[in-house]
Chains A and B, each alone.
Chain A
Amino acid sequence: MTAETADAAIPARRASNVKALRLAETVAIPVGAMVASAVAFSIFLLIIGKDPVQFWQLVWTGGFGSSFSIQNSLQRAAPLILTGLAFAIPARIGLTMIGGEGALVLGGFSAAAIAIPLVTNAVPVWITLPVMALSGMAAGGLWLGVVGWLRHARGVNETISSLLMSYIAIAIMNFFVEGALRDPASANKPSTMPIGDAYRIGSIPGTDVHWGFAAGIVLAVVLWVLMSRTTFGFAARMTGGNARAAKAQGLPVGALMVVCCVIAGACAGLAGFFEVTAIHGQANASLVAGYGFTGILVSFLARHNPLTVVPMAILFGAIAAAGGVVQRRMGMPDATVLVLQGILFVVLLVSETFYGRFKIFQPGNTGDRV
């Protein structure tokens, strides 16, 4: 379909077709990359003596094959949408911010911590949950905001500092969870006081998928509008394209960077809030589940487009959901799925270099990328 669109567009060479061509390119290249990685992975399977056909059938069964499988994939996608956004927004302004994990952990921890006095005093759920969510977003936002400020004010490399800040965030949570805020009943697994079933947020009605999924979609749309349809977004993207030029134009580059980082941290912090209120019911070491890092892959797959983050997160959720079935039915180790993810990621990064290289997607023969 994409090829036909492109074919039809070439002879016309009208400005209105430029958009369609670019859309076709942004769909065709990632899809092509996914197909290429599927082929590469199938070859890998053949080499280790496994049946690729059975593998892809199981991926389908485990990821999308039944209503249970679909809900399994969507639930696993929920935190990845938010952590994917946490990488995508700074990426648009040119920052490689890999600290979503720390913001998630700290967000979840602060949500659970602020819930303790509220739950103890039986504050109504409709007050407690928003306060917890805000607390989680504020903690995550502050955490990555610091990284953005360090980058702007002191020139500290945001990739390294956000990674190191993640370790600090995890250590802070462990310090409190194993110390001052430890629930005495959690002897062998130090945790904060459980918020109790009454304060758990539960599932979207009629499904088994928790509300974090819905929140992720809403936030993805909001952030897409922000980045694509507002002057803020324009300024941010311009800064991402060329920070010096943006500065020369009088844009507040530093403020834009910090705001983007705060938004990213708030997304990850919100993911932490949902982990606490929808999944764990308390904060403990289980919050450190790697969602922040998987979010980086999700965002790259989505080319840092907030809307595309949603289907890509679902794809990763489905791969994770299918990973279990593959282990069980084919007797393959868990690392199989990591190999698939690794191949996918590398091929996608390589595919980035193909943008603008295919004549079929070019509106004219000038060779310029519009």
Chain B
Amino acid sequence: MPFNNLSRRTLLKAGAATLASVALPFGIARAQTAVILGIVYVGPKDDFGWNQAHAVSVGTLKALPGITVVEEENVPETDAVSKSMESMINLDGANLILATSFGYYNPFVVDLAKKYPDVQFRHAAPLWNKDKDPANAGSYFPYLNQAHYVDGVAAGLSSKTGKIGFVAAKPIPSVLSNINSVLLGARSVNPAATVQVIVTGDWSLPVREAEATNALVDAGCEVITCHVDSPKVVIQTAEGRGVKTCGHNASQAPLAPTGFITGAEYKWETIYKSYADDIAAGTPLPNFLVGGYNNDMLRNTAYGAGATPEAIKAADAAIEALKGGFKIYTGTLKDNKGNVVVDKDYDNYDPYLDGMGWLLEGVQGSTT
């Protein structure tokens, strides 16, 4: 780690007494437009979930020349994140800050971006507002529900009954969209497929996640998937109960050697690499970067032992279709209370879908 040498005392010892240690990283940054990328995670880097997905992706940048990565894990969504990011700027000379947790954005990223206009801030949720927010801030976000659709296709063909269990953290739009996409994927190959949902209430509640998984298995679900920060407990519990699983966020394949089908994964490195390239080249970073399979921001985990040959074939076809612009929410769809919630073909990035507050007919569960 080159940064080991950057503390004031070490530099003095090395005979570099004339260099102000704090100014050094800024000097490098200006002279070579080297990228010093600071990234903050809300949980541990090895959580088998959201944070690990980011850490693995940013890890692929470390080997590239001209990029230094500084990381901080377990940073809560309080002023602690503000101070951590500021510390990266002041002490490490970071010129690109990646804030990876939803609650980091407002007010922390917004306020800090105003304070440090020369530093680029990017946040992993589609929150940046052109009219209100600073120009050196921005958002990036892949629509993971596309990969969950693929999960649904594979799950539908890897089970006999098409009964899928879904452990959900909170009934908010991004989670609901994943649940609905699993259902639509499964129904595309098995019209009788259903999804049963249990909401735990928070992003990381391992005990409740295990209880929910057991309850879903007891209720007859053949495949279990989830949207929680770290799917580790869900996947392991389901594997222990002998049912199949689909993953979420990062690869959980090692956790379920016999039942793993595939999983919805973010491919953050596509985004991170493009940011680093832009800074190195001196071109402005995009403020708003969203995507999915069509622009290489997602992937599905390599198929596990739980995936049947038909499932693999159909899931691969679904991925190709999504790359080509296949739309997930189309035609007329009713929610599970009987209201028509989709009455036309929506683009996968349509703002209407960002605000979804419903579960489709075929999903057993409630949004409240």
Residues of A within 8 A of B (CB): 54, 57-58, 61-62, 65-66, 68-69, 72, 75-76, 174, 187-190, 210, 275, 278-281, 284-286, 289-290, 320-321, 324-325, 327-331, 333-335
Contacts and interface: CB of A to CB of B under 8 A. Distances in A.
A333 B43 CA distance: 11
Interface stretch (B2-10, B26-34, B180-188, B305-313): B2-10
Contacts of A328: 3, 38, 70-72, 88, 92
Contacts of A58: 7
B91 A325 contact: yes
A334 B201 CA distance: 26
Contacts, number: 104
B74 interface: yes
B103 A66 contact: no
A84 B6 CA distance: 35
B71 A327 contact: yes
Contacts of A280: 78, 107
Interface in B56-84: 70-80, 83-84
B173 interface: yes
B21 to A, nearest CB: 9
A70 B22 CA distance: 15
Interface in B127-174: 170, 172-174
Given A62-B91, A289-B76, A321-B83, A284 B103 contact: yes
A72 B44 contact: no
A61 B107 contact: no
Top-9 shortest CB links A-B? A334-B74, A328-B70, A286-B77, A188-B172, A68-B90, A279-B79, A289-B78, A324-B84, A72-B83
Contacts of B80: 76, 289, 320
B251 to A, nearest CB: 21
B130 to A, nearest CB: 16
Contacts of A285: 103, 202
Contacts of B88: 324, 328
B339 interface: no
B125 interface: yes
Given A284-B103, A286-B76, A331 B1 contact: yes
Nearest to A328: B70
A327 B79 CA distance: 18
Query: Do most interface residues of chain A lie in helix, strand or loop, or is the interface mixed?
Result: helix
B86 to A, nearest CB: 7
Contacts of A69: 87, 91
A57 B1 contact: no
B324 interface: no
A62 B44 contact: no
Given A189-B102, A286-B76, A334 B44 contact: yes
Interface residues of B, number: 43
A335 B7 CA distance: 22
A75 to B, nearest CB: 6
A185 to B, nearest CB: 10
16 contacts: A62-B91, A66-B90, A66-B91, A68-B90, A72-B83, A75-B83, A76-B83, A187-B172, A187-B173, A189-B103, A189-B172, A275-B78, A279-B78, A289-B80, A324-B88, A333-B45
A66 B22 contact: yes
A188 B102 contact: yes
Interface string B81-112: 00110111011100000000011000100000
A187 B107 contact: no
Contacts of B201: 174
B355 interface: yes
Contacts of A189: 102-103, 172
A111 B84 CA distance: 27
Given A66-B22, A66-B90, A324 B6 contact: no
A69 B75 CA distance: 17
A327 B73 contact: yes
A334 B79 CA distance: 17
A167 B27 CA distance: 50
B350 to A, nearest CB: 15
Contacts of B1: 329-331
A334 B78 CA distance: 16
Given A72-B87, A321-B87, A331-B1, A57 B125 contact: no
A188 B357 CA distance: 11
Nearest to A338: B74
A281 B107 contact: yes
Contacts of A279: 78-79, 107
A60 to B, nearest CB: 9
A327 B80 CA distance: 14
